[in-house]
Structure 1
């Protein structure tokens, strides 16, 4: 259990946040300047708040009223900074050793998991962005921390390297089971890696919970809209280059063509505004995907209506953004059978 209740006042900015979570992976999301990275720095002990408490699994790291402020090196927290803070003149091995002091476990296992073995004798300054990021993650994890904090781990990476780092982080979560808190301005990255979201705006928490629930919260939607709401599904390739299957279902999606071996895992991303709804299947249309589902709930945040639809009988849910006129015309209500229409060109394959 991670418990944070702190206040920090600085000229022109005030952070006042309180949250607790037992999730193994928590994502902190919100606009730039909202306080996301400051929260990580406070938990790590790099910034001292004016008041409050921080506890991890019942262990008090900070309590202003009791005069407790555990030193950074004794908090048992690993942190991956946005600027990495590696030593470019040192080899990968020496950078990793700088962060070690390992408690339990096999460092070779972690090095293998991050595919750092072939890089150990190379200088960090000669590595690619993705390779440097893996070194920074390895250095943080080699201490076997009780908690790992990641500040924008994919911010400076392009699509291919970003996907590579996300894949490595996902494998690390599965293998190590260590709690992680990740900050990102990319909502899609957080949806791939975290169970729960903490939405922060203007130095305060505006919402916490599972993403589908937050999308149905009219008080949180304005913040989500400012950074771009998105649908994200796991899928797998088929023999056809332009057909993907949604994981855990038999539902097929026609997508942009891509050359990958069949039965490979992929991530499919598309915007709620690109999902149209109809009461029945539509004949004579160029839209390649028409998927039957059931409305589970909807919300109106004053700008538009977000309708949550469960695909098939027991598939994943997606969100469709429609106008109020369509809400009335389609007689949208929970339990209503509906057809989701999605153009193939609207789907992004990651």
Structure 2
């Protein structure tokens, strides 16, 4: 199932002019505040009528020159930044209210189990934590039996612990919900963990779009993501959990020893590695406290406006990024095609950056 979006809309000083497609899985709509993300999802939901639009979902036209399908006929679930639950109803009643609008009976018990909200059914929204409210809001949206799920900054109002609480449920939702998800965020860590595809908005235009692994690892996208947030996402498989808290993960060009990996042995995970946490060496280093040393090949060098440079490297099929100074590029004699060693500290990959849990594919060769 594919969502096709092409729209133009003027609001304030900004003219939004975007076109993209969102297929199965999670498509992240990413950009700074004011880039037009919420306007796009409101147009898809039917809450806003753009100046010009061609919006359709697998042949069902939502908007064109003569059509503007009303929201209740689009079969689109919408999860807002604030949960917007009915305060006078219990959790169970909120869920049952949504189920009345489903096009076909939906597995209520399955949704409740998937989101871990069985113990909350008799409670009112005012007694729930922020993370619990968002899980109930997700359940309400799913029980309306949507063909498409829109999520507009669903974690933005949550603090760090609450965000960490709900992210595993979003991981599971992505695998089990069975509907395409358009996920709006300006938080790179969320997008890196959850998305399959990424659409970067800047000044009302699509600046970059494509598979998440490609967009995140594109040195040209760094100004849009932010220099401190720039980094690549690697595919990995859990090989072993040590008694000292370190886990061994196989990646395309070797193995990594990391902390905070809770996925079972054999699980596929993704790792977000910040470019500023990667060191480079021309020779294989010895005598370092850092144990993660990967052989890589430089594929691109992009200099910024300041004293820094972004180095893209092939790491056995995935791309790794390193942020170094322009002086380091010169002193090391770095150039495209060169084989070097990337050094990553075990403590530099945060737990929130590690996601996954499937066990179907073979491990990448060390």
- The CA deviation at 1:133 is 0.6
The aligned counterpart of 2:96 is: 97
What is the CA–CA distance in structure 1 between the aligned matches of 2:262 and 2:25, rounded to whole Å? 32
Q: Give a deviation string over 1:127-157, Cα, whole Å, max 9, x none.
A: 1111111000011111111100001122122
Q: Give a deviation string over 1:79-126, Cα, whole Å, max 9, x none.
A: 001111112231001111222222333221111111122211111111
What is the CA–CA distance in structure 2 between the aligned matches of 1:145 and 1:157, rounded to whole Å? 25
What is the CA–CA distance in structure 1 between the aligned matches of 2:128 and 2:196, rounded to whole Å? 32
Q: Which moved more, 1:8-17 or 1:320-329?
A: 320-329
Q: Give a deviation string over 1:225-259, Cα, whole Å, max 9, x none.
A: 26722344456461233422225669443445x69
Q: Which moved more, 1:76-85 or 1:325-334?
A: 325-334
Structure 2: runs of 5 or more not aligned:
353-366
* Cα contact 2:253–2:296 (8 A) shared by 1: no
Judged with a 3 Å threshold, the aligned counterparts in structure 2 of structure 1 residues 5 and 321 are, in CA distance, closer, same or farther, namely same
Q: Which moved more, 1:163-172 or 1:182-191?
A: 163-172
The aligned counterpart of 2:309 is: 305
The aligned counterpart of 1:135 is: 136
What is the CA–CA distance in structure 1 between the aligned matches of 2:262 and 2:190, rounded to whole Å? 22
The aligned counterpart of 1:222 is: 223
What is the CA–CA distance in structure 2 between the aligned matches of 1:242 and 1:230, rounded to whole Å? 25
Q: Give a deviation string over 1:250-285, Cα, whole Å, max 9, x none.
A: 9443445x6969749776544202211112122343
The aligned counterpart of 2:323 is: 321
SS at match of 1:318: strand
Judged with a 3 Å threshold, the aligned counterparts in structure 2 of structure 1 residues 169 and 243 are, in CA distance, closer, same or farther, namely same
* Cα contact 1:61–1:70 (8 A) shared by 2: yes
* Cα contact 1:229–1:272 (8 A) shared by 2: yes
1:65-214 matched pairs, under 5 angstroms: 65-66=65-66, 68-100=67-99, 101-104=101-104, 105-214=106-215
- The CA deviation at 1:11 is 2.5
What is the CA–CA distance in structure 2 between the aligned matches of 1:252 and 1:37, rounded to whole Å? 40
The aligned counterpart of 1:45 is: 46
- The CA deviation at 1:220 is 3.2
1:271-350 matched pairs, under 5 angstroms: 271-303=274-306, 304-311=308-315, 314=316, 316-333=318-335, 335-350=337-352
What is the CA–CA distance in structure 1 between the aligned matches of 2:271 and 2:263, rounded to whole Å? 16
* Cα contact 2:217–2:233 (8 A) shared by 1: no
SS at match of 1:307: strand
Aligned residue-pair number: 345
TM-score by length of 2: 0.84
- The CA deviation at 1:289 is 2.6
* Cα contact 1:219–1:301 (8 A) shared by 2: no
Judged with a 3 Å threshold, the aligned counterparts in structure 2 of structure 1 residues 28 and 113 are, in CA distance, closer, same or farther, namely same
What is the CA–CA distance in structure 2 between the aligned matches of 1:292 and 1:58, rounded to whole Å? 47
- The CA deviation at 1:216 is 5.8
* Cα contact 1:221–1:301 (8 A) shared by 2: no
What is the CA–CA distance in structure 1 between the aligned matches of 2:165 and 2:266, rounded to whole Å? 15
The aligned counterpart of 1:253 is: 256
Q: Which moved more, 1:163-172 or 1:127-136?
A: 163-172
